[in-house]
């Protein structure tokens, strides 16, 4: 595919399982990317696509008025923005920082204030869709920020996503992402529970899936994860470790809102059990193994062993 005419410059920090393909799509669209990651091999991979390496977040931020971050969790985002040689030390006045990480909404609010004090603007814009949608540029972005600021970065986000929605003020994006992660986790748990029940009862789980997917029980989550469960494909599109992180953040948000989240706690406990077994790097569809281990049955190939 031929590269389009060069567009505005962007600093892109965080080139992991999601960040790398997202950066790649921006480069294909003709954006100039100044890139940084703590892992040299990650930088090298995106450099081969056309990214321009920088020695620090500070240097990357000094090269562009649009700064995108895609990092694991709140501590990493705070370090990249506020730490030594961080974004705020190199950021140009009027710059817009778009944090696409999935973090604690309260931290997003805190960082929004820090960025504003430094003369910039923050949009929290976590994504949903996992690695496959990061690769094909069809992610969903849930955004929090001022409408006029959001509109300035919307075209950048639309290059990486099929859905870009402004939900409310800074912090609203990550609150929406936590709601998303609760729904996804409980969907995966429900699909796991149902298919293991079918298998243990002597009914072909693959046929059960085909029978119910077109009805009210059907969902995007079911269509994405049930085949993975039955084909034993647990290579990560979204790791259990990351979902545990998101559900922990959801629990903290619940505490801040003085609300108990009983179903979230149940899904979180299941995932933590698998983490303790060394399965944290598997795809979250491996949640089915929690039930399989308890019931001594495997839903492989539509048949019980």
66-69 and 96-99 beta bridge pairing: parallel
Classify 13 as helix, strand or coil: strand
pLDDT for position 237: 79
Whole-angstrom distance, CA of residue 63 vs CA of residue 92: 8
CB-based contacts of 61: which residues, under 8 Å, 6+ apart? 11, 67, 87, 88, 89, 90, 91, 92, 95
Catalytic hit among 20, 177, 225, 245: 177
* Token pair for 48: 């081969």
pLDDT for position 228: 96
pTM summary value: 0.88
Residues 244 and 280 sit within 8 Å (Cβ to Cβ): yes
- Give catalytic status of residue 177 as yes or no: yes
Rg (CA), the chain: 20
Measured distance CA(32)–CA(9) in Å, rounded: 5
* CB proximity list for 140: less than 8 A, separation 6 or greater: 127, 128, 129, 133, 161, 162, 163, 164, 165
Contact 193, 205 (CB under 8 A): no
The domains located in the chain, with CATH, are 9-169 (3.40.50.720), 176-295 (1.10.1040.10)
d(CA 2, CA 75): 38
| pLDDT tens for the chain, residues 1 to 305 | 334 445 789 999 999 999 999 999 999 999 999 999 999 999 999 999 999 999 999 999 999 999 999 999 999 999 999 999 999 999 999 999 999 999 999 999 999 999 999 999 999 999 998 888 999 999 999 999 999 999 999 999 999 999 999 999 999 999 999 999 999 999 999 999 999 999 999 999 999 999 999 999 999 999 999 999 999 999 987 899 999 999 999 999 999 999 999 999 999 999 999 999 999 999 999 999 999 999 999 998 544 33
What pLDDT was estimated at residue 129?
Answer: 86
Tell me what pLDDT residue 301 has: 59
């Amino acid at each position: 595919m031929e590269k389009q005419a060069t567009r505005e410059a962007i600093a892109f920090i965080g080139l992991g399982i999601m960040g790398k393909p997202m950066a790649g799509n921006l480069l294909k669209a003709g954006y100039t990317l100044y890139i940084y990651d703590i892992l040299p091999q990650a930088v090298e991979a995106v450099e081969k696509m056309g990214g321009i390496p920088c020695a620090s977040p500070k240097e990357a931020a000094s090269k562009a008025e649009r700064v995108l971050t895609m990092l694991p969790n709140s501590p990493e985002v705070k370090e990249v923005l506020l730490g030594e040689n961080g974004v705020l030390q190199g950021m140009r006045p009027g710059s817009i920082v778009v944090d696409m990480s999935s973090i604690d909404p309260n931290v997003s609010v805190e960082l929004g204030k820090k960025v504003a004090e430094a003369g910039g603007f923050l949009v929290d814009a976590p994504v949903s869709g996992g690695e496959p949608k990061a690769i094909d540029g069809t992610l969903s972005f849930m955004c929090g920020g001022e409408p006029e600021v959001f509109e300035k970065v919307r075209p950048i986000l639309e290059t990486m996503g099929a859905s870009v929605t402004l939900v409310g003020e800074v912090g609203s994006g990550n609150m929406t992402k936590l709601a998303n992660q609760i729904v996804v986790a409980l969907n995966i748990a429900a699909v796991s529970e149902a298919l293991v029940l079918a298998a243990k009862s002597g009914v072909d789980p693959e046929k059960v899936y085909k029978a119910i997917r077109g009805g009210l029980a059907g969902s995007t989550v079911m269509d994405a994860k049930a085949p993975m469960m039955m084909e034993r494909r647990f290579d990560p599109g979204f790791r259990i470790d990351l979902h545990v992180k998101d559900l922990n953040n959801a629990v903290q948000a619940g505490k801040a809102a003085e609300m108990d989240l009983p179903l979230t706690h149940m899904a979180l406990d299941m995932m933590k059990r698998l983490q303790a077994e060394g399965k944290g790097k598997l795809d979250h569809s491996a949640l089915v193994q929690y039930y399989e281990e308890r019931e001594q049955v495997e839903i492989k190939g539509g048949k019980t062993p």
